[in-house]
């Protein structure tokens, strides 16, 4: 974790490496707007007609700039680790955001997520911009609580009540939400993540661009992901949501063009793709039956030797004592048996070494990757599975084509109508850094060629 001393050191190094961020006389400083549309599959834009989608603003990015035919994501293909790779250019094992939820085998953290920027172990684009004395802003990007952001409306929730909005106010830039709400109305609480809340957050983002004039702003839309979990990818309801988000992209592009005339970059990304789901897999039930954890009469976990860590279409397997070779062998044998039973829908079981090679969960003993159509269920009792809690899911291995995410970018000097083919997600952050004229020393790959 970055403590205050380490953060100051990182920022000092970045500032020394970057030098001044503006041209002589303080003019022509770039403006970069980074929008994430959670769960946006590239074919929704590249083949919009084939999916009966009316998305003119997103399709305009194809003609006006550079795009990828697909983005290969990280392990796991979940929202939080992916969004931090988008900001750092490194794998989850390096940046420290390993999943959506923290590993919490005894349930003490009440399903807490990786909300806090202090868990990030390398410099982000926010840090690099701050080191270069640029102003930053954020609307609801994951892992933004306590981040080094000038104008921050962070993402966090707890109870799904009005107190969540109070929590956001307390953890965001002091007075910012109240200032903006005075003219725009109520800002959404953290657990409110439909397209209706996207529309409100977009208005707040426009107002931030127009009134605070940041040099770099991150904006996160959740509604498509919410609906695709509920009704599946390319359902009528999901397509309707994406068409509404398309209008938001258009409004933000227009605000950027007005405010940063001739120097505005717009980058639209997504964190992962989506696949239809038909089965829940009760992996927990198999671990409980094997005696790898215990529960009391109220089904509260009382002890554990090995436990799954949920990741949607996959699950990491953690050992209470990583040095216990006997338990490791028991778990490996159990997983081999389960993989041989078609009811469990297991596609692959990765070893620790394979997980490390893919840049995921650094302390996991195994990773269970389900077949497309299966997801980790939360049932603790037999049978092996049941009806799905979701009709759409992600979290599968990134080499599955269904998990491809999106990248589109326009701005001064960027070629029009250019495809860069299929790319690695780690190339996006250094590409944005190049547009901002800052550097990310920890980035694992080079920026994309955009001219």
> pLDDT for 48-78, tens place per residue?
999 999 999 999 999 999 999 999 999 999 9
Pairwise CA distance, residues 204 & 220, whole Å: 12
User: Reduced to 3 states, what is the DSSP secondary structure of residue 36?
Assistant: strand
By the 8 A CB rule, do 157 and 140 touch? Answer: no
pLDDT digit string (tens) for 11-51? 343 433 343 333 333 457 999 999 999 999 999 999 999 99
Which pLDDT belongs to residue 23? 35
To the nearest 10 degrees (0 to 180), the angle between helices 223-231 and 236-259 is 170
Residue 205 in this model has a pLDDT that exceeds 60: yes
Average pLDDT over residues 83-106: 98
Distances (CA, A) of 33 to 140, 269, 409: 14, 11, 10
Q: What is the pTM of this model?
A: 0.94
Share of the chain above pLDDT 90, in %: 91
Which pLDDT belongs to residue 398? 97
pLDDT digit string (tens) for 214-267? 999 999 999 999 999 999 999 999 999 999 999 999 999 999 999 999 999 999
Task: Assign domain 278-389 one CATH number from 3.10.260, 3.30.1360, 1.20.120, 3.40.630.
Answer: 3.30.1360
CATH number of 4-275+400-436: 3.40.720.10
Place of tokens 């409980």: 288
Pairing of strands 407-410, 264-269: antiparallel
Pairwise CA distance, residues 129 & 126, whole Å: 5
* Through-space distance between the first and last CA atoms of the chain, rounded to whole angstroms: 37
Share of the chain above pLDDT 70, in %: 94
Burial bucket for residue 36 (CB in 10 Å: 0-12, 13-18, 19+)? buried
By the 8 A CB rule, do 433 and 215 touch? Answer: no
Element (H, E) at 17: helix 4-18
Confidence of residue 206 (pLDDT cuts 50, 70, 90): very high
Pairwise CA distance, residues 217 & 149, whole Å: 9
Q: What is the DSSP letter of 289?
A: H
What is the residue extent of each domain of the chain? Answer: 4-275+400-436, 278-389
Mean pLDDT value across the chain: 94
Pairwise CA distance, residues 400 & 372, whole Å: 9
Pairwise CA distance, residues 140 & 146, whole Å: 12
Burial bucket for residue 104 (CB in 10 Å: 0-12, 13-18, 19+)? middle
User: Regarding predicted confidence, which is higher, 112 or 18?
Assistant: 112
Burial bucket for residue 371 (CB in 10 Å: 0-12, 13-18, 19+)? middle
1-15, 78-92, 250-264, 364-378: segment of lowest average pLDDT: 1-15
Confidence of residue 381 (pLDDT cuts 50, 70, 90): confident
Which pLDDT belongs to residue 27? 52
Check for a shared fold between 4-275+400-436 and 278-389. Answer: no
pLDDT digit string (tens) for 128-138? 999 999 999 99
């Amino acid at each position: 974790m970055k403590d205050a001393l380490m953060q100051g050191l990182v920022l000092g190094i970045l500032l020394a490496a970057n030098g001044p961020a503006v041209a002589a006389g303080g003019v022509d400083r770039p403006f970069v707007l980074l929008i994430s549309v959670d769960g946006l599959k590239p074919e929704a834009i590249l083949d919009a007609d084939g999916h009966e989608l009316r998305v003119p603003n997103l399709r305009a990015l194809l003609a006006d700039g550079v795009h990828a035919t697909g983005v290969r994501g990280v392990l796991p293909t979940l929202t939080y680790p992916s969004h931090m790779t988008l900001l750092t250019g490194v794998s989850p094992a390096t940046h420290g955001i390993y999943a959506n939820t923290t590993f919490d085998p005894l349930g003490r953290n009440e399903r807490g997520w990786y909300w806090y920027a202090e868990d990030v172990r390398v410099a982000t684009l926010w840090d690099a911009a701050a080191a270069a004395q640029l102003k930053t802003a954020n609307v609801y990007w994951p892992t933004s609580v306590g981040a080094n952001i000038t104008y921050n409306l962070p993402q966090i929730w707890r109870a799904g009540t009005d107190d969540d909005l109070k929590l956001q106010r307390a953890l965001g830039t002091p007075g910012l939400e109240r200032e903006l709400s005075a003219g725009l109305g109520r800002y959404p609480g953290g657990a409110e993540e439909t397209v209706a809340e996207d529309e409100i957050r977009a208005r707040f983002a426009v107002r931030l661009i127009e009134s605070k004039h940041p040099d770099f702003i991150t904006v996160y839309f959740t509604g498509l992901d919410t609906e695709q979990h509920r009704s599946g990818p390319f359902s009528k309801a999901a397509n309707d949501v994406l068409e509404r988000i398309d209008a938001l992209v258009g409004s933000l592009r227009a605000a950027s063009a007005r405010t940063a005339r001739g120097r505005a970059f717009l980058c639209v990304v997504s964190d992962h793709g989506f696949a239809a789901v038909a089965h829940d897999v009760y992996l927990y039930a198999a671990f409980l039956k094997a005696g790898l954890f215990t529960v009391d009469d109220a089904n509260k976990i009382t002890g554990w030797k090995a436990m799954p860590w949920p990741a949607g279409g996959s699950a990491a397997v953690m050992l209470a004592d990583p040095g216990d070779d006997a338990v490791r062998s028991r778990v490996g044998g159990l997983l081999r048996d389960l993989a041989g039973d078609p009811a469990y829908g297991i596609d692959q079981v990765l070893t620790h070494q394979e997980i490390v090679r893919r840049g995921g969960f650094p302390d996991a003993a195994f990773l269970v990757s389900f077949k497309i159509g299966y997801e980790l269920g939360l049932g603790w009792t037999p049978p092996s599975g049941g009806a799905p809690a979701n009709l759409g899911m992600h979290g599968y291995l990134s080499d599955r084509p269904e998990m491809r995410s999106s990248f589109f970018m326009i701005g001064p000097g960027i070629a029009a109508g250019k495809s860069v083919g299929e790319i690695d997600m780690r190339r996006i952050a250094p590409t944005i850094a190049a547009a901002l004229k800052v550097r990310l020393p920890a980035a694992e790959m080079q920026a994309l060629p955009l001219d």
